[in-house]
């Protein structure tokens, strides 16, 4: 069943896009990893222009992060002061990155940057997840869980200026740390990757924030950053395709509920292994594309959207 996408200006199989949404929702419900960084390259593989793929994913992330944020907010797992510091960082770089996207797209370099970024990020995350889940599946008890937040102050970054008390996170740390982390997440988000897959481990392992607070605050960060990125991608780069976004949101909501139902039955660690393999496969596909001599050197694209 073909459907015409008004902004991507192409037709796609509606059921295929719906299936992408369902898989992303399903995988993120089961593995706890949001799917933006997988969805954007999948859309590119089926021929959605990189700019539109990158511009449409944030709408989906905003939708699913809203659902997650709400329940974590009710559970009190959010450190608002910590979240706001992260947001100041992520908003600044995300806004900058969206304007940079416009310039890079005009010059014809955006696709190259997106492809290289995805090869690197998918390759790295895929390898780490693969190694972790292999250890978990084959039983040699992985050191699961966060390091206990025994020392409320100090730690490796204790010497930095601007120490601030974050109450819910039970941590005192330099405000520069969430600002910097947020700044990195902002760039990832503007490239259509969400960034929760980097934010959560960074908060837990580097900043020693309790796991629940890390997840809750990361969802808040995803929601608030993606909302701004989605709005700006639509208004500045004209790259948010409404039909594509709606189909994906619907699919992912269904997939997430399905995943939540299956979570007690399916082995989570084996699914993480599956996710790792998918990530590596996509990374390798892009890498092969970069390394092999293309049959056609030229390509055409539309101008003046």
Partner 1 sequence: MSVLRRGLALALVLGCCAGAIGARADSGLLTELQSSHVKITTGFTGQHVFVFGSTARPGDIVIRVTSPDETQALSRKSRVGPFWIKRGKTRIERVPGLVYLLSNRPLDEIADRAVLERHGLTFHSTLAAAHVDAESAQGYAGWQAAFERLKQKQGLFRKLESDVRLEDGRLFSADFPLPAKLPIGPYRLDVYAFRNGVLIARHESTLRVDEVGVERWLSRVALQHSVTFGVLFTALAVALGLSLSMLLRRDRIRRA
Binding site for partner 1 (CB under 8 A): 2-4, 6-7, 9-11, 59-60, 62-67, 70, 107-109, 111-112, 115, 223, 227, 230-236, 238, 240, 242-243, 245-246, 249-250, 253-254, 256-257, 260-261, 290-294, 296-305
Q: Which is nearer to partner 1, 55 or 195 (CB)?
A: 55
Which of 33/256 has CB closer to partner 1?
256
How far is the C-alpha of 51 from the C-alpha of 231, rounded, in Å? 14
Find the shortest distance in angstroms from Cβ 242 to partner 1: 6
By beta-carbon proximity to partner 1, the closer residue of 129 and 218 is 218
Is there a contact between 19 and 255 (Cβ–Cβ < 8 Å)? Answer: no
Task: Give yes or no for a contact between 50 and 114, defined as CB atoms under 8 angstroms apart.
Answer: yes
Q: How far is the CB of 26 from partner 1 (least distance, A)?
A: 13
CB of 225: closest distance to partner 1 in angstroms? 12
Whether residue 90 contacts residue 185, with contact meaning beta carbons closer than 8 Å, is answered with: yes
Least separation, in Å, of the C-beta of 19 and partner 1? Answer: 17
Q: Are 53 and 44 within 8 A, CB to CB? A: yes
Complete DSSP assignment for 149-212: ---SS-STTTTSS-EEEETTTTEEEETHHHHHHHHHHHHHHHTT---HHHHHHIIIIIS---HH
Nearest CB to partner 1, comparing residues 158 and 242:
242
> What does the alpha-carbon distance between residue 108 and residue 113 come to, in Å, rounded to a whole number?
10
CB-wise, 49 or 155, nearer to partner 1?
49
Helices 242-262 + 14-31 axis angle, to 10: 40
The least CB distance from residue 149 to partner 1, in Å, is 30
- Integer Cα distance of 207 and 214 in angstroms: 9
Shortest Cβ 148–partner 1 spacing (Å): 32
Q: Decide whether 52 or 203 has the Cβ nearer to partner 1.
A: 52
User: Is residue 1 a contact partner of residue 14, using CB atoms and an 8 Å limit?
Assistant: yes
């Amino acid at each position: 069943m073909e459907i015409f996408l008004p902004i991507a200006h192409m037709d796609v199989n509606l059921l295929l896009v719906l299936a992408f949404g369902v898989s992303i929702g399903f995988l993120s419900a089961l593995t706890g990893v949001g799917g933006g960084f997988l969805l954007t390259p999948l859309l590119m593989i089926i021929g959605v222009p990189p700019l539109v793929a990158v511009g449409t994913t944030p709408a989906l992330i905003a939708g699913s992060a809203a659902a997650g944020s709400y329940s974590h907010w009710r559970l009190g797992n959010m450190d608002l002061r910590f979240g706001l510091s992260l947001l100041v960082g992520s908003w600044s770089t995300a806004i900058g990155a969206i304007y940079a996207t416009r310039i890079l797209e005009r010059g014809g370099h955006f696709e190259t940057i997106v492809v290289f970024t995805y090869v690197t990020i998918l390759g790295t995350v895929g390898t780490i997840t693969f190694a972790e889940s292999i250890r978990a599946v084959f039983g040699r008890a992985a050191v699961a869980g966060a390091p206990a937040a025994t020392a409320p102050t100090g730690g490796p970054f204790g010497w930095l200026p601007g120490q601030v008390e974050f109450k819910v996170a039970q941590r005192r740390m330099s405000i520069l740390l969430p600002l910097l982390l947020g700044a990195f997440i902002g760039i990832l988000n503007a490239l259509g990757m969400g960034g929760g897959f980097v934010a959560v481990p960074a908060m837990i392992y580097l900043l020693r924030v309790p796991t629940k607070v890390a997840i809750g605050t990361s969802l808040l960060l995803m929601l608030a950053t993606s909302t701004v990125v989605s709005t700006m991608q639509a208004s500045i780069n004209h790259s948010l395709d409404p039909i594509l976004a709606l189909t994906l949101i619907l699919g992912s909501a269904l997939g997430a509920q399905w995943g939540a139902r299956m979570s007690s039955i399916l082995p989570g660690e084996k699914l993480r292994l599956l996710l790792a393999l998918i990530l590596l496969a996509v990374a390798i596909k892009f890498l092969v594309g970069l390394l092999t001599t293309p049959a056609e050197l030229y390509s055409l694209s539309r101008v003046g959207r």
